[in-house]
């Protein structure tokens, strides 16, 4: 007679259970496929949501005084457009000229690099960077080296996509500002009174977390770009406005963005002069200390309330999943998940969700 431990165990599943599991797997695959196909549109929705959250405090403030959501939204939206247009008229011509000048200088930099002279000559002399690039070009062609093909067509398509994206985001932002409260009210009206109190509190916490992060992050990036442009102008480094804009954009990326911007701007400053390069590097070192220990704790600590380790992990996961956009959205998403988890934990422990603070 076989021992008890040697007996075979048969596990049977009902056909309904198997069908449910298969259905869930198929549905998940379809949803992921749809998300992948519509990833560009989804990114536009996220950008519009971020802009709406940044403008919504002004709309709420004005609505409390005129008691009309539509009029308050229209005024704030028009003021924002006028400010953007005014800034564009002041800076875009200079920005375009600086970008063109910088583009015209690139061949000179490449020529110096190829011949191993100038401040970048050491890259060829010591590391043979140009030889490695030529080898990659011979083996894989320009498309493999640069990751592009059909440059003219790609540029034209990119311009059209950018215009369509800008207009779409602008309209979505307006309608999110106008109809956002009514959407929330419709959702809350579907809930029972006790559940409604709970989810109104949770929604308020998520709005405070995400809205505070978006507004604070935009303000920090504006400060970083403005101070960088000012330092570059004072040290007579060319392309100060263009480089300041690059810093402002990259600084939106938590943790790594400011470091990447410092490397780019520092390299350009050293190409202009050793003294200017040293001054710019020192500025970035000092500014990043101020940003990391003063500005960011105010934004992340008072709004998102995440530890530095949680911020780092969130950014890394977001960047791996969706690139730059994922890195930007990682912290508010993590903060929102934290709010939901704490509410669930409080509910499980038998607390008063509606009255929790």
Phi-psi group of 147: left, alpha or beta (phi > 0 → left; psi -120 to 50 → alpha; rest → beta): left
Per-residue tens of pLDDT for the chain, all 357 residues: 555 555 666 666 677 777 888 888 888 889 888 878 887 888 888 888 888 887 888 888 898 888 888 898 999 889 988 887 876 776 667 666 766 666 666 656 666 656 655 555 555 566 555 556 555 545 554 444 444 445 556 656 766 777 788 888 888 989 988 888 888 888 888 888 878 888 888 888 888 888 778 778 888 888 999 999 999 999 988 878 878 888 888 888 776 778 888 888 888 888 778 888 899 999 999 988 888 777 777 776 667 777 777 777 887 888 777 777 777 778 888 888 888 888 888 888 875 544 444
Domain of residue 251 covers 191-357
269 assigned to some structural domain: yes
24 assigned to some structural domain: no
102 assigned to some structural domain: no
288 assigned to some structural domain: yes
Predicted TM-score (pTM) of the model is 0.62
47 assigned to some structural domain: no
> How many structural domains does the chain have?
1
Determine what percent of the chain falls in helix, strand and coil, rounding each to the nearest 5.
85, 0, 15
Neighbours of 134 (CB within 10 A): 13
21 assigned to some structural domain: no
Phi-psi group of 56: left, alpha or beta (phi > 0 → left; psi -120 to 50 → alpha; rest → beta): alpha
Q: Which two tokens stand for residue 11?
A: 């596990």
Q: Please say whether the beta carbons of 279 and 268 come within 8 A.
A: no
CA–CA separation, 23 and 34 (whole Å)? 16
């Amino acid at each position: 007679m076989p021992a008890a431990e040697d007996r075979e165990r048969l596990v049977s599943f009902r056909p309904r259970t198997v069908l449910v599991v298969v259905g869930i797997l198929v549905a998940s695959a379809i949803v992921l496929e749809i998300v992948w196909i519509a990833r560009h549109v989804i990114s536009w929705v996220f950008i519009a949501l971020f802009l709406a959250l940044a403008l919504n405090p002004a709309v709420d403030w004005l609505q409390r005084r005129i008691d009309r959501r539509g009029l308050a939204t229209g005024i704030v939206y028009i003021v924002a457009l006028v400010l953007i247009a005014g800034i564009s008229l002041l800076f875009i011509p200079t920005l375009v000229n600086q970008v063109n000048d910088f583009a015209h200088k690139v061949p000179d930099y490449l020529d110096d690099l190829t011949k191993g002279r100038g401040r970048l000559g050491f890259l060829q002399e010591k590391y043979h960077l140009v030889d490695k690039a030529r080898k990659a070009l011979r083996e894989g062609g320009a498309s493999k080296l640069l990751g592009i093909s059909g440059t003219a067509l790609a540029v034209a398509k990119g311009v059209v996509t950018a215009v369509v994206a800008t207009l779409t985001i602008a309209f979505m932002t307006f309608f999110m500002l106008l109809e956002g409260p009514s959407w929330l009210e419709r959702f809350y009206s579907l809930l029972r009174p006790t559940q409604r109190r709970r989810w109104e509190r949770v929604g308020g916490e998520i709005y405070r977390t995400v809205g505070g992060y978006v507004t604070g992050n935009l303000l920090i990036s504006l400060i970083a770009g403005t101070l960088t442009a000012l330092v570059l102008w004072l040290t007579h480094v060319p392309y100060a406005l263009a480089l300041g804009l690059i810093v402002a954009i990259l600084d939106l990326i938590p943790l790594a963005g400011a470091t990447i911007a410092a490397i780019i701007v520092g390299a350009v400053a050293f190409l202009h002069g050793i003294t200017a390069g040293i001054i710019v590097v020192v500025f970035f070192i000092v500014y990043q200390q101020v940003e990391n220990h003063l500005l960011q704790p105010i934004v992340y600590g008072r709004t998102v309330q995440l530890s530095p380790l949680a911020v780092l992990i969130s950014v890394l996961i977001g960047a791996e999943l969706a690139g730059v956009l994922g890195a930007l959205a990682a912290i508010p998403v993590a903060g929102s998940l934290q709010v939901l988890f704490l509410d669930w934990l409080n509910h499980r422990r038998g607390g008063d969700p509606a009255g929790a603070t």
